């Protein structure tokens, strides 16, 4: 059975003119949020109903939460939601939505770029996005970086999380290529070139605080350096 995965996340703010879409991120670039859908979401939360689900024309489900809080003397209402495939269990995403509702209020007054960045980071910290599946070490590293970013988000270190997630998009694949290149060069007895590849990989691992990986690569580099050239 495949793991449930959300397609996107959105943030709505209740105003005197109705619900306003404050920010959104959908991995396929196709937002299901339009005027009609906003009205359906608003109606689904009548009488303060906290959690709600509605169907979309894309044959998906929008699962959302109404969150009310006070900002000084002002009463504020936001709705945070995710888009799921039909058949996915909304309860699997309840904690994600509750956490997002707790973190997002402080960003409502920030710039649009910063708000969009935090929404994107929240999505990426929960879902493994991207096309090709990274192989072996790359996949494990991507997972570790994603989990570290999630911890940073929970600690309120949003910018550090965003930076780490940006690195997660490229560093695992680059590291894998360098390691494979180094191993291949060792087999070809091209020790000097192998040392260069491993040195680059070590530097890259240290840049993302992967000390254990850097130490292992350092051992590999040492063994390669000690191997006599034929």
Neighbour tally for 41: CB within 10 Å? 21
Dihedral (Cα; 169, 171, 175, 177), 10-degree rounding = 50
Residues 146, 152: Cα–Cα separation, whole Å: 10
Dihedral sign from CA coordinates of 36, 37, 38, 40: positive
Contacts of 162 (CB under 8 A, 6+ apart): 117, 118, 120, 121
Query: From edge to edge, which strands make up the β-sheet containing 74-85?
Result: 18-26, 8-15, 74-85, 60-71, 51-55
Least confident of 11-20, 32-41, 65-74, 185-194: 185-194
The confidence band for 101, taking pLDDT boundaries of 50, 70 and 90, is very high
Domains, in order of start, for the chain: 8-127 (3.30.450), 134-230 (no CATH)
Neighbour tally for 162: CB within 10 Å? 20
pLDDT tens readout for residues 135-168 = 545 667 888 888 888 888 888 888 888 888 888 8
Q: To the nearest whole percent, how much of the chain has pLDDT over 90? A: 30
DSSP string, 90-125: GGGGHHHHHHHHHHGGGGTTS-HHHHHHHHHHHHHH
The confidence band for 223, taking pLDDT boundaries of 50, 70 and 90, is low
Instruction: Please determine, for residue 2, whether its predicted confidence score (pLDDT) is greater than 60.
Output: no
Q: To the nearest whole percent, how much of the chain has pLDDT over 70? A: 84
pLDDT tens readout for residues 7-36 = 899 999 999 888 999 999 887 788 999 999
Instruction: Please determine, for residue 125, whether its predicted confidence score (pLDDT) is greater than 80.
Output: no
| pLDDT at residue number 38 | 94
pLDDT (mean) for 188-206: 82
Residues 179, 198: Cα–Cα separation, whole Å: 6
Regarding pTM above 0.85, the answer is: no
Q: HSE-up of 92 (CA within 13 Å, CB side)?
A: 12
pLDDT (mean) for 108-126: 79
Contacts of 169 (CB under 8 A, 6+ apart): 130
Q: What is the DSSP letter of 50?
A: -
């Amino acid at each position: 059975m495949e793991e449930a995965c959300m397609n996107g996340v959105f943030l709505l703010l209740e105003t005197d003119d109705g619900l306003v879409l404050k920010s959104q991120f959908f991995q396929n670039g196709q937002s299901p949020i339009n005027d009609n859908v906003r009205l359906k979401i608003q109606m689904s939360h009548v009488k303060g109903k906290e959690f709600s689900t509605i169907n979309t024309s894309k044959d998906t489900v929008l699962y959302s939460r109404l969150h009310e809080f006070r900002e000084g003397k002002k009463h504020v209402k936001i709705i945070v939601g995710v888009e799921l495939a039909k058949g996915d269990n909304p309860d699997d995403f309840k904690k994600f939505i509750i956490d997002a509702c707790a973190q997002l209020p402080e960003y409502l007054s920030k710039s649009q770029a910063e708000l969009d960045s935090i929404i994107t980071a929240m999505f990426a910290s929960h879902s493994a996005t991207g096309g090709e599946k990274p192989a072996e070490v790359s996949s494990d590293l991507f997972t570790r970086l994603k989990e570290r970013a999630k911890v940073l988000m929970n600690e309120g270190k949003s910018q550090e999380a965003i930076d780490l997630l940006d690195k997660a998009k490229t560093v695992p694949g680059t590291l894998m290529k360098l390691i494979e290149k180094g191993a291949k060069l060792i087999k070809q007895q091209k020790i000097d070139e192998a040392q260069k590849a491993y040195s680059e990989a070590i530097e890259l691992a240290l840049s993302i605080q992967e000390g254990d990986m850097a130490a292992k690569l350092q051992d590999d580099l040492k063994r390669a350096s000690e191997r006599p050239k034929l």
